[in-house]
A and B are shown apart, each in its own frame.
Chain A
């Protein structure tokens, strides 16, 4: 494990995230962790589905959700997933600058999504849809809020990695870290696709 060795685009392995034992462990361990996360979100979705029409005379999904806002947020997050793919593409080609650039774009798009979500929640609260309004409101904020917390954590994580490694560039020690963070970002994106469908589309159709 000569992680300190000077690497070039030629000597950099094709799968830098799995080139060391530590990297391979991280890779498999993180996939495993995402398995557990999937079950966690599945439990939250099941709870939401059981309670989505228990509005206790509070606002209903049809009254609350507005397509344009949610659509824009969805587009931002989906695009950020694509840009993180570009970042990983450049990582594998040992092009650190372009990787950082695309990670930066990913973070901006993710921050945009988060901003819209905060704006959205704020609107709802002003319309009388608080966390404690009904079983529907509690389950909505818990499911979508848990996703939002994941987005926040993901942004902080990617930013930390970008700043920490800004000066020293890529090596086999930090490549798995970048890779795993981008896996996490994709996972967040996939969960959002389900939230968009189950919470918003099904909510607006009724």
Chain B
């Protein structure tokens, strides 16, 4: 049964990935799919910037511009940032806690395929009559009026991929609760594991309101509902509430894991333990908690009244406190450290001022009275790109360079990595810094063009030039990946030489079972402790024995495919009555696969002691 070290054909490899339940392979799937969507969202961003480079441009105008703008935001948040965060979590978290696998390997695969089919469904809209065009927030008053099926693609696609995210979040919550190795207490968990834990809890409570909002909108658009139609007593503000009860925590779902990645990198490349570990944990939990109390700061101009605005303004500003704690802890980690400016470390160092700027403009926006001025202007666009790019994307790029050797067994070129970094860093600030001022000068967001003579020409041109810097950086990164894959240097287990956490104690890439023997964790930075005491490997917590592994399965793929088909069926049911049966057939495929999963026993299989010994010996020699 074991698939250890066996050469396989292309078909077998594809089948392997379609059916895999191994968190390391699922990480690679998330990385590839998220990466492709990231490129799509990036191309959309370039089209936007080309259109806005000069006044009165007619490159992409009107409805098409709206579609590109909507898909840029939706793709980047749901189909690029989320899965790339999940790629990092899957690649690292189980190993960081000393586990052989996640709590629910089958559900882990299901989560990926749901996300994937949801994303593909959403992007099918480009070829089937036009993409969604009401902005990534898809406010009901706009989206109910949108003709065609663009919004339906949004509503159905995000429901499917949202289920996937929810399942992924539950999986990581339970994994971290039940699968920790002996001695891995909560207060010994690496910061990336902690932030994954809190982000997963946020997913659990933030995604259901989004799902409900999407269901209500689906009812209104496809089945004659009246939730958002004022003529029948509906209320469009309900959508805004539901969307932002999800939308604000979503920012933390993305940025907390990025904080975790930076925490690992600062400690590793300063050769010091993370400063203020327990206050970092506290700040993470506090940010997660406060993240649910602030959603209405997106609705200051909706007319909720001065009391509500004041409460939400103060709550929002309060989040600056735990975030400030984190910033100072990172600075103090570097203080007096033995710093190595590797590519991941460059991103980490650049992240601090970049993200702080996003935080400062965040507090500015939080002042409700002032927000009336900033609202719907490029100032807001600049703000959230400083948070999302300066925080999340820097974090993902840092994490990708940092853990690439662990995931693929080869070191990315540091030279090309640094080229990517500088191009991206300069391009990022070039693009978005000037947008603060464009916003303050009155340029509204989401417009497809502007007139000359308002003082906006230079700013917009600079912004467009910056975007091309970032595009070039991405191309260099792709070249780096290709070159590395073809002839990269093989990575050691402790690829950077200064690894502190458990993932650096296992081979790069790790064997299917992660740990031949479950390790005994003796403190924070478990691997560092062992190295400092002169040991080569980890202290085992159990004798060598057979290892139990879960069986691969094609069912996650089919369950997700069923929903994909069902979504098409329900979307076209008003034009073609037979389409309703397609929808029902799709649901039956999904329910039938779930039924099969329920009635077929799955006890997994064992890798035998002899195979493990053989694999471990080979790994040591190679």
Chain A residues in the interface with B (C-beta under 8 A): 1, 3, 21, 24-25, 28-29, 32-33, 35-37, 39-40, 43-44, 46-47, 50-51, 54-56, 131-139, 142, 157, 160-161, 164, 173, 177
**Do the beta carbons of B232 and A134 come within 8 Å of each other?**
yes
Most buried by A among B223, B224, B225, B231: B225
Q: Which of B196-212 contact A (CB under 8 A)?
A: 204-205, 207-209, 211-212
Residue numbers in B under 8 Å from A44 (CB-CB): 212
Whether A139 contacts B601 in the complex (CB less than 8 A), given A32-B204, A47-B212, comes out as: no
- The answer to whether the Cβ of B160 comes within 8 Å of any Cβ in the partner chain is no
**Do the beta carbons of A51 and B598 come within 8 Å of each other?**
no
- The answer to whether the Cβ of B593 comes within 8 Å of any Cβ in the partner chain is no
| Binary CB contact string for chain B from 174 to 218 against chain A (1 if under 8 A, 0 otherwise) | 100111000000000000000000000000110111011101100
Chain B residues in the interface with A (C-beta under 8 A): 103-104, 166, 170-171, 173-174, 177-179, 204-205, 207-209, 211-213, 215-216, 219-220, 223-227, 229, 231-235, 238, 241-242, 245, 548, 595, 598-599, 601, 603
Most buried by B among A37, A40, A46, A133: A40
- A182 to B: closest C-beta gap in Å: 15
**Do the beta carbons of B226 and A137 come within 8 Å of each other?**
yes
**Do the beta carbons of B595 and A160 come within 8 Å of each other?**
yes
Residue numbers in B under 8 Å from A21 (CB-CB): 178
Residue numbers in B under 8 Å from A32 (CB-CB): 170, 173-174, 204
Q: Per DSSP, are chain B's interface residues mostly helix, strand or loop, or mixed?
A: helix
Which of B174, B220, B224, B231 touches A29 (beta carbons < 8 Å)? B174
Give 7 nearest A-B pairs by CB, closest first.
A54-B233, A132-B224, A135-B233, A40-B208, A43-B212, A138-B225, A39-B208
- Known A28-B174, A40-B212; 8 more pairs at CB < 8 Å: A21-B178, A43-B242, A46-B241, A51-B235, A131-B223, A132-B232, A135-B235, A138-B227
**Do the beta carbons of A136 and B598 come within 8 Å of each other?**
no
**Do the beta carbons of B225 and A36 come within 8 Å of each other?**
no
Which of B104, B219, B599 touches A160 (beta carbons < 8 Å)? B599
**Do the beta carbons of B548 and A135 come within 8 Å of each other?**
no
User: What are 27 A-B pairs at a CB distance below 8 A?
Assistant: A21-B178, A25-B104, A25-B174, A25-B179, A29-B104, A29-B174, A32-B173, A33-B170, A36-B204, A36-B207, A40-B208, A43-B209, A47-B212, A47-B216, A47-B238, A51-B227, A54-B233, A131-B225, A132-B226, A133-B226, A134-B226, A134-B233, A135-B229, A135-B233, A138-B225, A160-B595, A173-B601
Residue numbers in A under 8 Å from B234 (CB-CB): 51, 54, 135, 138
Bound CA–CA A180/B225 (angstroms): 34
Closest to A25 in B: B103
- A17 to B: closest C-beta gap in Å: 14
- A64 to B: closest C-beta gap in Å: 16
**Do the beta carbons of B548 and A1 come within 8 Å of each other?**
yes
Residue numbers in B under 8 Å from A173 (CB-CB): 601, 603
**Do the beta carbons of A142 and B216 come within 8 Å of each other?**
yes
Closest to B595 in A: A160
**Do the beta carbons of B598 and A161 come within 8 Å of each other?**
yes
Bound CA–CA A161/B170 (angstroms): 23
Residue numbers in A under 8 Å from B179 (CB-CB): 25
Which of B178, B219, B241, B548 touches A28 (beta carbons < 8 Å)? B178
Residue numbers in B under 8 Å from A136 (CB-CB): 233
Closest to B173 in A: A32
Bound CA–CA A164/B596 (angstroms): 11
Residue numbers in A under 8 Å from B171 (CB-CB): 29
- A129 to B: closest C-beta gap in Å: 13
**Do the beta carbons of A56 and B205 come within 8 Å of each other?**
no
Residue numbers in B under 8 Å from A160 (CB-CB): 595, 598-599
Closest to B231 in A: A56
**Do the beta carbons of B173 and A138 come within 8 Å of each other?**
no
Whether A36 contacts B170 in the complex (CB less than 8 A), given A142-B215, A160-B598, comes out as: yes
- A125 to B: closest C-beta gap in Å: 13
Residue numbers in A under 8 Å from B232 (CB-CB): 54, 56, 132-135
Whether A56 contacts B235 in the complex (CB less than 8 A), given A37-B208, A132-B226, comes out as: no
**Do the beta carbons of B208 and A43 come within 8 Å of each other?**
yes
**Do the beta carbons of B211 and A40 come within 8 Å of each other?**
yes
Residue numbers in A under 8 Å from B227 (CB-CB): 47, 51, 135, 138-139, 142
Bound CA–CA A41/B171 (angstroms): 21
Bound CA–CA A202/B225 (angstroms): 23
Residue numbers in A under 8 Å from B178 (CB-CB): 21, 24-25, 28
Bound CA–CA A1/B220 (angstroms): 50
- A159 to B: closest C-beta gap in Å: 11
- B55 to A: closest C-beta gap in Å: 43
Closest to B212 in A: A43
Most buried by A among B208, B220, B233, B238: B233
Residue numbers in B under 8 Å from A3 (CB-CB): 603
- B34 to A: closest C-beta gap in Å: 23
- B178 to A: closest C-beta gap in Å: 6
Residue numbers in A under 8 Å from B241 (CB-CB): 46
- A25 to B: closest C-beta gap in Å: 4
- B591 to A: closest C-beta gap in Å: 8
Bound CA–CA A112/B248 (angstroms): 42
- B583 to A: closest C-beta gap in Å: 15
**Do the beta carbons of A29 and B599 come within 8 Å of each other?**
no
Residue numbers in B under 8 Å from A131 (CB-CB): 219, 223-225
Bound CA–CA A147/B177 (angstroms): 30
**Do the beta carbons of A142 and B225 come within 8 Å of each other?**
yes
Bound CA–CA A56/B226 (angstroms): 10
- A55 to B: closest C-beta gap in Å: 7
Residue numbers in B under 8 Å from A47 (CB-CB): 212, 216, 227, 238, 242
Whether A138 contacts B598 in the complex (CB less than 8 A), given A29-B174, A32-B174, A173-B603, comes out as: no
Closest to A47 in B: B238
**Do the beta carbons of A29 and B208 come within 8 Å of each other?**
no
- A30 to B: closest C-beta gap in Å: 9
- B145 to A: closest C-beta gap in Å: 18
**Do the beta carbons of A36 and B238 come within 8 Å of each other?**
no
Closest to A28 in B: B174
Bound CA–CA A24/B204 (angstroms): 19
Closest to B223 in A: A131
Bound CA–CA A56/B377 (angstroms): 37
Closest to B224 in A: A132
- A172 to B: closest C-beta gap in Å: 11
Residue numbers in B under 8 Å from A142 (CB-CB): 215-216, 219, 225, 227
Residue numbers in A under 8 Å from B173 (CB-CB): 29, 32
- A48 to B: closest C-beta gap in Å: 10
Residue numbers in B under 8 Å from A43 (CB-CB): 208-209, 212-213, 242, 245
- B231 to A: closest C-beta gap in Å: 8
Closest to B204 in A: A36
Residue numbers in A under 8 Å from B213 (CB-CB): 43
Bound CA–CA A161/B241 (angstroms): 39
Residue numbers in B under 8 Å from A54 (CB-CB): 232-235
Residue numbers in B under 8 Å from A36 (CB-CB): 166, 170, 204-205, 207-208
Bound CA–CA A84/B245 (angstroms): 35
- A27 to B: closest C-beta gap in Å: 9
- B572 to A: closest C-beta gap in Å: 19
- A140 to B: closest C-beta gap in Å: 11
